Chain A
């Protein structure tokens, strides 16, 4: 083969392959070594231009954009001089100049329409989408509950990581969901939601949901701080596998809830979380269902620390072990859940330790400063 012919082949290969190769892009100018062709002023332009599996660095600044990600990518916030906060905000709409978002995704789990500030869906080729170190600010958008609002929405069939971000002001008149991840049919997807700061939202801070039994979504919700004010829930998992671990949640009407469809999904692990100051009615720290293992959580200053669900004589209810409960009205609300395991927990300062316990249930926990140890009952 002649040298000239070989060179010609390489050029051809380069022409076809180079645009498809993962590369580094930036929005703004804060990263050295990024070619000018890969520099953009909007995140949307960078996403559209980037080859799959590329990294897009986002320089500090305010980006009034609604983002649609349909290829594997990494979005990464970046510092510049003395600041380190890239903020995605709600753009002004063409109509009336008010902050506006398009409805851009429908949940396969609930059927609800969402206007998501960042939506990840129809990812092709398949691969992970990772979002690190950016702020998603929902200020100004309030269309009530005609559609739901999300900060970051991972639609069915997507996977990846949402890490070290700030989600704030997804209010929308009580229908705001800062982080929502879901999956429908097979294959199983895995999504990590790690170390995010989530606050000032309308409904639920972090939601992970699967529409199928058994679950096709493995969600790891770890190390986040969610403060819910008087919003309904801080962290909600529906029919997922995976874990809720090492989070700190305060406020809201429910700190963290795991639930499922038709009481058929295997449980998840809920461990090493701190839940405090959940006092807005009903004021439940952790809702655990059949198959869940909740261990080494610290639940303090809530109305009800643990609310048990599911479970029957045939299938095990939740297992609650080595948790610490302080300053609550009710430590363990069985709600007549059968076949639950509640042992080696420590309770200090409760009006009621065990409420509505099925007869014959044995518990072995350390109780201190409990006004009424056993209350209520279950007619079987």
Chain B
């Protein structure tokens, strides 16, 4: 008897110490009385054990959220709603809380961003997953200094995770607003996934992904999203911007803006990494201005995309491949602008209703099916 008590007492003590540190499910708000709940999202993400699931009650949360440990954030359905909105705190100065290795705007020298949801310095290592949350940047056109940016969700270097079924909208900050951004630097290659999300109405890039290393240390998967940007002449109004990024951009629907996909190098890494861009639908892009639905990076591949009602369909890069794409209603610019780049590979594309089939092909291109093309080859280079 004595012996049993002797053993059970430390067990109870151990349980008391360990249990609160076990990953579990926690709540934010008061819609689930069964969960230990917090009144703010920040209080929850700062307090719960690593690997926990945080279920957030519907409502608007005027917070800036910083996540430093692996977690899952998700919304719950309560009282006929499941809209959880993270909004900018009113009447506060939007002071940047993170620097970007890619620059702001991406590729330029400024570095700082105000992130509404910031994933950074995650320890222990592990994914941060965000599902079914709205991040709304309404009111972000303030405290602009002409260089720093506003971003809805930012995954900083050495973090990983999946953003799924999220809505980001209205990140506008005097031309420096971004929806979702993930980046990485030297070290372990990280997975960054944005899927099934609705990314709307930013005044700069909707989704940004990149690395400052070559080969790239980010493996991005951008799939099944809807991206809608305002019709604007702003040069960086781009749906998905990949900078020295590896990975895939697939099955997205992209409308508006100046460009749907832009894959580009950084000045420090001119040998930019290739991405695969496939089975996307891109429409109504670069209206009233110049721009291309897809601007391909070195060695990138674009296959089976549907490209409609744009100024230029595809702007290629060296050693880029475009195959089996459908282009219609490209009535101002070129279906494909090659710019005399060498090693561009094509085939089985279908053009209908295109002003210029191929602009500056290195040599005249064949192998595609053309209908209603005003000028097939414009200014072949050789």
Contacts and interface: CB of A to CB of B under 8 A. Distances in A.
B197 A301 contact: no
A85 B83 contact: no
Contacts of B134: 349, 369
B165 interface: yes
Number of chain B interface residues as a range: 35 or more
B198 A85 contact: no
B256 A277 contact: yes
B60 to A, nearest CB: 10
B239 to A, nearest CB: 13
Contact of B308 (A164, A225, A298, A348): A225
Contacts, number: 163
A84 B353 CA distance: 10
Contacts of A196: 352
A326 B226 contact: yes
A2 interface: no
A83 B352 contact: no
Given A197-B328, A197-B329, A327-B226, A369 B75 contact: yes
Interface string B155-178: 000000000011101000000000
Contact of B284 (A227, A324, A349): A227
Given A225-B308, A277-B255, A84 B376 contact: yes
Given A225-B309, A301-B226, A367 B82 contact: yes
B97 interface: no
Given A250-B284, A348-B197, A368-B75, A84 B372 contact: yes
B372 A368 contact: no
A135 interface: yes
Contacts of B118: none
A164 B309 contact: no
Interface string B119-162: 00000000000011110000000000000000000000000000
A235 interface: no
A77 B306 CA distance: 22
Contacts of A248: 281, 283, 306, 308
Interface string B346-373: 0000101100010000000000001111
B196 interface: yes
Chain B interface main SS type: strand
Contact of B353 (A197, A346, A368): A197
B132 A369 contact: yes
A348 B166 CA distance: 7
A79 B284 contact: no
Given A82-B377, A83-B375, A225 B253 contact: no
A275 to B, nearest CB: 9
Contacts of B80: 372-374
Contacts of B226: 276, 298, 300-301, 326-327, 348
A367 B281 CA distance: 23
A111 to B, nearest CB: 32
A313 to B, nearest CB: 26
B371 A164 contact: yes
A234 to B, nearest CB: 12
Interface in B94-134: 131-134
A231 to B, nearest CB: 14
B228 A301 contact: yes
Contacts of A370: 81-83
A164 B329 CA distance: 12
Interface in B279-309: 281, 283-284, 306, 308-309
A138 to B, nearest CB: 14
A263 B309 CA distance: 36
How many of chain A's residues touch chain B, expressed as a range?
A: 35 or more
Given A225-B328, A327-B200, A84 B370 contact: yes
Given A197-B352, A250-B283, A369-B134, A84 B83 contact: no
Nearest to B254: A276
A225 B329 contact: yes
A166 B81 contact: no
Contact of B81 (A132, A133, A371): A371
B371 A367 contact: no
Contact of A227 (B283, B352, B373, B375): B283
Given A195-B350, A367-B77, A370-B83, A84 B371 contact: yes
B373 A327 contact: no
Contacts of B198: 300, 326-327, 348-349, 369
Nearest to A60: B374
A195 B375 CA distance: 20
A348 B165 contact: yes
Given A197-B372, A276-B283, A346 B253 contact: no
A165 interface: yes
A151 interface: no
A251 interface: yes
B255 A85 contact: no
Contacts of B308: 197, 225, 227, 248, 250
A372 B80 CA distance: 6
Nearest to A81: B376
Contacts of A85: 372-374
Interface string A359-373: 000000011111111
Interface in A272-313: 274, 276-277, 298, 300-301
B136 to A, nearest CB: 10
B372 A134 contact: yes
B82 A373 contact: yes
A274 B326 CA distance: 14
Contact of B371 (A133, A369, A371): A133
9 contacts: A166-B353, A195-B350, A195-B352, A197-B352, A199-B329, A227-B329, A250-B309, A298-B253, A372-B81
Interface of A: 77, 79, 82-85, 132-135, 164-166, 168, 195-197, 199, 223, 225, 227, 248, 250-251, 274, 276-277, 298, 300-301, 324, 326-327, 346, 348-349, 366-374
The 10 closest A-B pairs by CB, nearest first: A197-B353, A197-B328, A166-B353, A368-B165, A326-B226, A368-B132, A133-B371, A349-B167, A300-B226, A326-B198
